[in-house]
Structure 1
Amino acid sequence: MVLERGISFVDATTSPRSEKPRVWISSGLAAPPYASTLSCHPRHALLYEDNAVVAREPWVLPSASELDTIVNGVSAAPGCCVAVLSLSSDLYDEFDAARSMAEMLSDWDEVNRYVSGQPLQRAIECATEHAESGSSQIWQMGIRVNPPGLPNVTVDNKTGRLVGLHCDNWFGAQMKARDGSPNRIAMNLGNGDRYFTYINLPLSRIWQLGNDATDLSVARLTGDLLVRFAERMPAYPVVRLRISPGEAYIAPTDNLIHDGSTQAGYEWDIYFTVVGRFGIPMQRPGQAVGETR
């Protein structure tokens, strides 16, 4: 299926170009397997919610035209743009002790208690200061650890099940005003790559396609929105971005379908996330955004 222009993407990283691709796309959308099984941490296998929707594998490199569509969306405003940027080495180094200690722990709850504890307060303060320097207001922040090998990482706190692809609803904006909601930064402070997966369409367009309608004055965010979209557009690709250690993404998570992933990882995924109003950094002149097939 042909990608539509929607959410833009900016690669504003300053580190040397990696041999690993930055951007992949899926072959569409699908219902998840019964559970996510982790080969390296089998005790952390998780069930999915009954109505979950996930990316259908395999992941492949985009074509040149697909990459152009992903990069050049309808707007580069913060409410309609995803960006990847490099963190300062000083900030990343503050979490050296966290990375070392985490690898000595095998229990998911235990490692989350550790990173939230007193020994890491100075490091967390540094991450907080970094976030506050880039946003006029902060609404929510926190540090979290996920096990490696998860194709999806967001867990419903009430059920303990994986949510799959989803949209945040921190601010409850009307569908046609979602691009005015605050956005989110998520910093990769671990040792391994993590991934940000998303559908490159604003939520209003997801609603229109899922309901075969155009009148956004009657649009509402309902629990079955993505299910309806997937039923009508099962071949629509999901975008996956690599977020390497010492990098972060900025994304309008109230305005797009998304999730995180630790797939193909082998170490604990440590990340610090903040909801605020973050500007979109500029891409370096001559920066290659991604490989194509």
Structure 2
Amino acid sequence: MKKLKSGIKIYSDHNGGTLQINSGVIHHTQQMPNEFIFRGEKFLQQYEPEAHLPKRDWRTLNPQEYKIINGDHKNKKDYNSVFTGELPENIRRLFNELDLGTATSEEEVFDKFRQNKEMVDEINISVNEFLQHISLAPFRFMSLATNFANSEIVSLDRRKLSEGQSIADLQFIGVHKDSSKDMTLHTAHRFGNRITFNLGKESRYLLVMNLSMRQAYNMIRKEIDLKENEVTNKNITSYFLKLFPDYPMLKIEHKPHHFYIAPTDNCFHDGSTLGSRSLDIVMIYLGKFLI
């Protein structure tokens, strides 16, 4: 396993979940596919051709590793920090009353929001007040979405599901970085971060490498000739995961009614619901959040 570098720091509140580390990534063809769950039925996960997945050898960090990744509040920025915490009590209470945990599909989740307009208005007010206290700039709602239970990784491009295809045909993306419009590899750190609420009834997980894009780029440039290989915002994930498959990933528990904040434009990551049996429900806002 490649030695863990000092890079993106992890900040967890006193009630934070488990934190684990593994020995890197593997191309999806090199390990048995996982079975995700939808409405009680199991489907083998399919992947995009270049998809790399976290290795399954998760373990607890040793003291030296923990010291490297633990947030020390030095040079803390929105683009070099991951935060986890519990939503305020008033927001948790409102989401409990909305009873999202009984939903078994994305449409049922949306129905609960449509059928409880007054409560949703109250949620929006409370969430906006909370976000204003931790935001360095204007923020915006991105999405209310669901993911399958027991999904080793969750990111996929639903737009690629052609007419006549079923859930079993979905192709998961694998470890990746997000990309905002007009972003370049060298401006990824300027695009802020996102906060994700876990509105489901079981823990989910953030899978992340603690390297910024600048760090990843500098590692790549020592291995290949950049005059012959153009490394861009679009292809840096492919280059890095092939060159450094043994760089470790972190697995950060994201408990129900907790949040995480992460610079997903500026790090390799994915989500996971492995081990769960119920629908994963998330609400996401984009901004420049800092705690």
- TM class by shorter chain equals 0.7 to 0.9
User: Equivalences for 1:221-232 in 2 at 5 Å?
Assistant: 221-223=233-235, 225-232=236-243
Contact 1:8 1:80 in 2 (8 A): yes
Listed one character per residue, the Cα deviations across residues 258-277 of structure 1 (whole Å, up to 9, x for unaligned) are: 11111111222222110011
* Distance in 2, Cα, partners of 1:192 & 1:76: 30
Listed one character per residue, the Cα deviations across residues 84-129 of structure 1 (whole Å, up to 9, x for unaligned) are: 122112101211244x4542x44x3433433553426336514344
Q: 1:213 to 1:141 in 2, by over 3 A?
A: same
2:232 corresponds in structure 1 to: 220
User: Equivalences for 1:134-213 in 2 at 5 Å?
Assistant: 134-135=134-135, 136-159=137-160, 160-211=170-221, 212=223
Shift of residue 71 of structure 1? 1.6
The amino acid of 2:261's aligned partner reads I
User: 5+ residue gaps in structure 2?
Assistant: 161-169
Q: 1:37 to 1:68 in 2, by over 3 A?
A: same
* Distance in 2, Cα, partners of 1:158 & 1:214: 35
Which secondary structure does the structure 2 equivalent of 1:137 belong to? coil
Q: 1:64 to 1:239 in 2, by over 3 A?
A: same
Q: Among residues 222, 228, 253, which one is paired with 2:264 in the alignment?
A: 253
Shift of residue 171 of structure 1? 4.3
Contact 1:131 1:274 in 2 (8 A): no
2:20 corresponds in structure 1 to: 24
Q: 1:220 to 1:114 in 2, by over 3 A?
A: same
Q: 1:75 to 1:202 in 2, by over 3 A?
A: farther
Identity across matched positions, percent: 22
1:288 corresponds in structure 2 to: none
Contact 1:89 1:246 in 2 (8 A): no
Contact 1:208 1:214 in 2 (8 A): no
Contact 1:181 1:254 in 2 (8 A): yes
Listed one character per residue, the Cα deviations across residues 214-244 of structure 1 (whole Å, up to 9, x for unaligned) are: 98xx752123x22321222121111110111
Q: 1:79 to 1:90 in 2, by over 3 A?
A: same
Contact 2:27 2:53 in 1 (8 A): yes
* Distance in 1, Cα, partners of 2:44 & 2:116: 29
Which secondary structure does the structure 2 equivalent of 1:131 belong to? helix
The amino acid of 1:137's aligned partner reads P
Contact 1:184 1:275 in 2 (8 A): yes
State the TM-score, normalized to the length of structure 2: 0.82
Q: 1:35 to 1:140 in 2, by over 3 A?
A: farther
The more displaced of 119-128 and 139-148 is 119-128
The amino acid of 1:78's aligned partner reads D
Contact 2:143 2:284 in 1 (8 A): yes
1:62 corresponds in structure 2 to: 61
| Count of residue pairs the alignment pairs up | 270
State the TM-score, normalized to the length of structure 1: 0.81
